[in-house]
Structure 1
Amino acid sequence: MKHAIARYFVMAMVCAGFGLFCAAGAAPVAPDFPEINARVIDKYVLPRFTALAATSGRLAASLTRACAGEKGAIKAVDKDYADTVLAWAGVEFLRFGPMSQVGVPERFDFWPDPRGVTQRQVAQLVAKRDASALDPAMLAKKSAAVQGLSALEVLLFDAAHPITGDDDAAKYRCGLARAMAQSTHALAQEVLTDWQGDSGWRQRMVSPQAGDPRYKSAEEPAADFARALITGLQMIQDREIAPMVAAVPSQGKTPRLPFSRSGLSARYVGAGVTSAQDLYETMGLGRNVPADKEWMPRWISAAFERLARDGPAAVEGLGRAKDTAERTRELRMVRFHIEGIRKLVGREIAPLAGLRIGFNELDGD
């Protein structure tokens, strides 16, 4: 299969470079876009946003108990935080519907953050003991860098300044952490609500209308789903795999990865890959391809399985890796499979299904 995907890339470049028409075989059966849209939203999208609302609600509740001094509550906070982060990994790349609104994804998680804005601004709030930040509604109006899961991670995983201390500074940090969790839960609930109702995003995407400024045909929501899949894979590649590939040759160098403070980076990669695979399978993009392209969905399925198995393992304990050559090979193989899926879906599978992808969320690839 590796040779097959390599041959595809060579043929694609030859066809493009020489302006040749490369026959694709018999045209596949046209997909039922309204049915696909309803299936993806009901069986894939809504369950994941429901899970995010539920986990973030449990996190807000356990933090409230911890700040009230309940013994053992901080252990529940750790578990609920991890559950919420992994639930977020499953939806962060779904930049359509309510998530297409400006600033919404950043309020959930301000990442990437190469300048360390989150840590600096959270530290400023703590130093000033800004009382307004303890109100979730007021916090939601402040910088996205002091909201959401990365900001909360700064407070929860600071061994030198635990939120469970008895001094005033610790009490403020705990109150701030609670406000962050409550604000994140409120945002998750808001997004879930925006999917529902006669004028909600589900209705708009399942039954598009000619006068709708966003969706005028059933093909457009389906194209957004495919675009989100490509975007999600690119996010894993650019924000997680590429920094690790660059860091491995330098012993002791720690790459900037999402949720590394909490030790969740590897699980985060795995959750993102699993969600991307579920989206691909729920859409049924690989069905009804021409006979000469049947190897493509087979390769994609095998690549997803390889990523789910090898992706987290390649990330785990990166800073402690001793065999750098082997670790580099593993990471490059992960990158190869991510790139292969992206290109096959974007350039072959989606167009065969009648979907025009155009620019994706990140770079227009």
Structure 2
Amino acid sequence: MAETRKASRFIVPVAVAGVAAATIGLVPALAASGDPDLPDITAQQLIEKIAASDTQTLSGTFKISTDLGLPAFGNLMSGLGGGEGGGSSADPSAKLTELVSGTHTLRVAADGPERQKLTLLDGSDEYSLIHNGDDVWAYDSKSNEVFHEKAPEGAGTPEEKDVPKGKDVPTTPKELADEVLKAAGDTTSITVDGTAKVAGRDAYQLVIKPKQAGSTVASVKIAVDAASGTPLKFTLASVEGGKPVVDAGFTKVDFGKPAASEFTFKAPAGAKVTEGGAEKAAGEEKLPEEFEKGLGDLEKSFGDFGEGMNVIGEGWTTIAKLDTGAPAPKTEEAPKEFQGLLDSLGDKVTGKFGSGTVFKTKLVNALLTDDGKVYVGAVTKDALVDAANAGK
């Protein structure tokens, strides 16, 4: 178990890369075709149209294509928390992380704030996440396992519609658009760039770009349904070029009311059913003592992120700074299975601040200095180094 405890010190830099994926969440991808002739509209009018949209019902198919520029993690992390207290393979908190890389096809259905369904198609296997009233169900056909938990209090508010409850991630192009528009201000350029055909529907193209130098975001493009104002497609491009970080949109969409049967669920015969609360308790009881101690050491070393964090800059180039008070772990001290991954994610850097490593993705980068300071943001490596130099 000593190796497990040692490995826990290196979870943080690997997890930093995962933060970029977590912030993206579930998003669909689709190539649009055709340029419909639509009445002229200003960016302000289109933003107001999005804000006024109130799509309560829909069903359709979408694809998600995500490229964070990360190497394949494989089963690297599974051994750290698995084993005796491994939990259910149908648990959404673990299953939906598969969407942070590659291309996936999903089906979605929504009927107001109380009923939503998301199905991930993976070859002949399916994974379904269903919110129906007070219940959240998840089913993994590959393992024939079911996960069930009660929807949290307040899950039926209009602001949270279209999301399988209990999972705090954006799941539709509209939610992604809302998150981006919240950050729009003097640091942002917003324009309308023509029209498009998405899932057979006429749409306007809203283009959002940072005005500031140093952001990893080149642009965000949102295709907005001309009739309803519902975002149909979402594309996030990186300054690195190449494939978009996120390319998202419906391939098929219908705004009619789905059948009630879409949201009913009964565990298949022979399926293993895990209750969310019971799983948590079992995990706490069965977590190996030495691994638990390793996590405690990690928490003590890195302190309270909420209390120790400072914010540098604003808008698209905001950087979070944290002083852990402990020297950063050295790559050569990491377990062998971590060394190659850390080297592929990290670039050694030096400056007035001293030396450190930048752990990089196409969206979120993090600088860990050798003296224990952490700088994280959707900014370039140079921007992180400049911030560390200024904070010396």
By the TM > 0.5 criterion, same fold? no
TM-score (norm 1): 0.21
TM-score (norm 2): 0.20
The structure carrying a bigger helix percent of its residues is 1
